[in-house]
Amino acid sequence: MTALKKAPGGLIRVAPVVYLLLLGSALFTFTAGNFLTVGNAFNIMRQASPLLILAIGETLTILIGEIDLSVGYVMSFTGLAAAYMLEAGVPLVAVAVACLAIAGALGLGNGVLVAKLGVPSFIATFGWGNVVFGLGLIVSKGLSVPALDESFRFLADGSVLGFPVIILITLAIFLLVQYAMKRTAFGRNVYGLGGNREALFLAGINVDRAQVWVFGASGLLSGCAGLLFAARAASGHAGSGVGWEFDAIAATIIGGNSFTEGRGNILKTVLGVVFISLLRNGLNMSGVAPQVQSFLVGVIVVIAISIDVLSRRAR
């Protein structure tokens, strides 16, 4: 084997998060009662599922050097749409397909704004997200819409062979995206857009279109997250996802994904989501007030991102 520059990068980058996780978990076993139980573990996983799916979508955007601030809004909008459709008696499968299609289309909208019209991604997705939010508010008049359909709720609360369905669905989505990242043109484009657009262009790939698809994928995944979240909450609400984009972005970056060179993968995102979920859950169980939680999470995330950026520069 010739000329390796350094040890496989994956190990070094994961290290900080892993340490943080271990440290955090150790802390929480003292401050919280039921922290290290199987029941709590499943609890955390169930809670984290929508966030994980959301974060996976966000990871795709960040890997290509952009950002998607609309994921929270698309998520709530999809949940709202699902609730309305279920109420109207539409069968579950049709609801899922329709809602995912809507979410995907919303994502493509972001992509067009960014890739074809040249709007910076944080403005495009910020504005577009607010448009979606507004639409949801108008339609629902700001009220919650119940989603009590049993088969729908089964997605979130049910179990198959002892495993919560929601976790199985999330796992399936993870595997699907992982396949796409490793074995399809889509995944190759993600790394190419983030690492060397010129190389993709010279290989004959339509760089603009590739970008649009990435945003579309992010939208689609936000839609999945929305469906699961609405199933868990048994209702849809236009504002339920507000602020989730921060956790999604934070999880992506804390996990070790880089927005400057197309470096990373969704496994790292999983770690980031686990970290944030553990953090929130642990703080909750330690009796920390929700306001303080938000603040602490904000501070820790900012510190973690800064460390990440600074350490990369030092290398």
With contacts defined by CB under 8 A, name the span among 24-32, 36-44, 227-235, 262-270 that binds other proteins. 262-270
36 touches other proteins (CB under 8 A): no
Which residue number, 249 or 270, has a Cβ lying nearer to other proteins?
249
Q: What does the block give as tokens for 7?
A: 């040890």
254 binds other proteins (CB under 8 A): no
Question: How distant, in Å, are the alpha carbons of 9, 77, 226, 237, 244 from that of 240?
Answer: 37, 9, 9, 5, 9
| Residues 116-135 interacting with other proteins (rule: CB under 8 A) | 117-120, 122-124, 126-131, 133-135
> What torsion do the CA atoms of 302, 307, 309, 310 make, to the nearest 10 degrees?
130
Contact between 51 and 225 (Cβ < 8 Å): yes
**Choice from 8, 39, 89, 287 touching other proteins (CB under 8 A):** 8
| Number of residues in contact with other proteins under rule CB under 8 A | 74
Q: How far apart are CA 81 and CA 146, in angstroms?
A: 11
Task: Note whether 6 binds other proteins by CB under 8 A.
Answer: yes
Report the residue number, 127 or 158, with the smaller CB distance to other proteins.
Answer: 127
CA–CA dist 244, 65 (Å, integer): 20
HSE at residue 177, side-chain half, CA atoms within 13 A, is: 26
Choices 45-53, 75-83, 266-274, 290-298; region in contact with other proteins by CB under 8 A: 290-298
**Closer residue to other proteins in complex, CB, 2/39:** 2
Compare residues 155 and 222 and give the one whose CB is closer to other proteins: 222
Looking at residue 145, its amino acid is V
Q: Among 30, 39, 161, 291, which residue interacts with other proteins (rule: CB under 8 A)?
A: 291
Based on the shown chain and the rule CB under 8 A, indicate whether residue 209 belongs to the binding site for other proteins: no
Q: Which of 21, 246, 285, 286 binds other proteins (CB under 8 A)?
A: 246
Of 14-22, 229-237, 277-285, 286-294, the segment contacting other proteins by CB under 8 A is 286-294
Run of H or E residues at 84:
helix 71-87
Q: Restricting to residues 55-74, which ones interact with other proteins according to CB under 8 A?
A: 67
Q: How far is the CB of 301 from other proteins (least distance, A)?
A: 6
CB of 218 to other proteins, least distance (A): 17
Burial letters 110-142, b for 16+ CB under 10 A, else e: bbbbbbeeebebeebbbebbeebbebbbeebee
141 touches other proteins by CB under 8 A: yes
| 82 close to 224: Cβ distance less than 8 angstroms | no
CA distance 273 to 45: 10
